[in-house]
Homo-oligomer: A and B are copies of this chain.
Amino acid sequence: MELIQRILSADPRAIARAMSLIENGDLKAREILKGIYFRTGQALVIGVTGAPGSGKSTLVDKLALAYRKLGKLVGIIAVDPTSPFSGGAILADRIRMQALYNDEGVFIRSMATRGHIGGLSHATREVISVLDAAGKDIILIETVGVGQDEIEVVKVADISVVVLVPGMGDELQTLKAGIMEIGDLFIINKADRAGVEKLEKELESMLALDARSENWKPPVVKTVATQGEGVSELIAAIHRFDQFRKASPQALQSRKYTVQENLIELLKERLLERATQQDGIWDKIQVASRDVKARKTDPYTAVEEIVRDLA
């Protein structure tokens, strides 16, 4: 396929086209992913998460810029928790640094999660593959919100960076406990604000309790993203973690999506595809839906009957 060749030679329009096919669940996407797979596995995938207002976007921009100065090719994926209803990305109006948009070495894409179950990790992984095959050295995944999304992103990324800011209220402090364990590296952004030392102390004491610490003690890096302060320290810390994960992959195994988990997810989808290609199966699903709604049967029995009748 011509599109595969164009992706492998890093044509930005081909990359964008492939991503649209992936997002739309187009069958052509699968052929493209097959064709490019042998060229993947080279990029370092960095997931950046944190509460709204922590300055993640600015940090990602500055990080991208710094990597560009080091001669790296960069991809940025902003994952938006878009409503499944409108399809519009809430960050559509967000203004990225013009310097990045004008740089051919940077590919930027917003991705809507669209509310599909399993959709985020699946589509994100596939979009990463495209950027990876296109020769990007660094792929930055930025998410909005703190929740299931973030956990999914962690599992897809090679390194998970959690961004905090001083002066968050007590309620946000509670939240931190939830994102604590997904961080390979912590950033205190807006580190020119009051409360840095307090946050740092709390963070360190939480990290001390972390069972992982015998393997990898997540470093805390202070940044002022708007000024570019701390970005080179951040890159150094990312580099150290990258060395660690390559040296002892088993230490991180339970925290990242394994190839096997990915295969099983794909298997589920293909099995459904195969089943629903059989004649009359959609009719059966319709009838079952009606009966379940009327409480003539329950969904578990209804599905068992559908499966039993499958060839």
Contact = CB atoms under 8 A, between A and B. Distances in A.
A169 interface: yes
Contact of A272 (B117, B120, B178, B267): B267
A274 interface: yes
Interface string A76-109: 0000111111100011000000000000000000
A259 B289 contact: yes
Q: Which of A86, A145, A169, A275 has the most CB of B within 10 A?
A: A145
A180 B90 CA distance: 10
Interface in A157-202: 169, 171-172, 174-175, 177-178, 180-182
A299 B263 contact: yes
Contact of A147 (B117, B146, B174): B146
Interface stretch (A33-41, A221-229, A238-246): A33-41
Contacts of A285: 260, 263-264, 267
Given A86-B181, A263-B289, A146 B303 contact: no
Given A267-B306, A306-B267, A262 B177 contact: no
Contacts of A264: 272, 285
Contact of A149 (B90, B147, B175, B303): B147
A75 B81 CA distance: 28
B38 A81 contact: no
Nearest to A307: B270
Interface residues of A, number: 81
Given A82-B178, A259-B289, A286-B260, A265 B145 contact: no
Determine which residue in A83, A174, A262, A293 has the highest number of CB atoms from chain B within 10 A of its CB, and name it.
A83
Contacts of A274: 307
B260 A295 contact: no
B299 A37 contact: yes
B267 A301 contact: no
Contact of A37 (B90, B265, B298): B298
8 contacts: A37-B299, A40-B295, A52-B172, A52-B174, A144-B175, A146-B146, A146-B147, A267-B303
Interface of A: 30, 33-34, 37-38, 40-41, 51-53, 80-86, 90-91, 113, 115, 117-118, 120-121, 143-152, 155, 169, 171-172, 174-175, 177-178, 180-182, 211, 254-255, 258-260, 262-272, 274-275, 285-286, 288-289, 292-293, 295, 298-304, 306-307
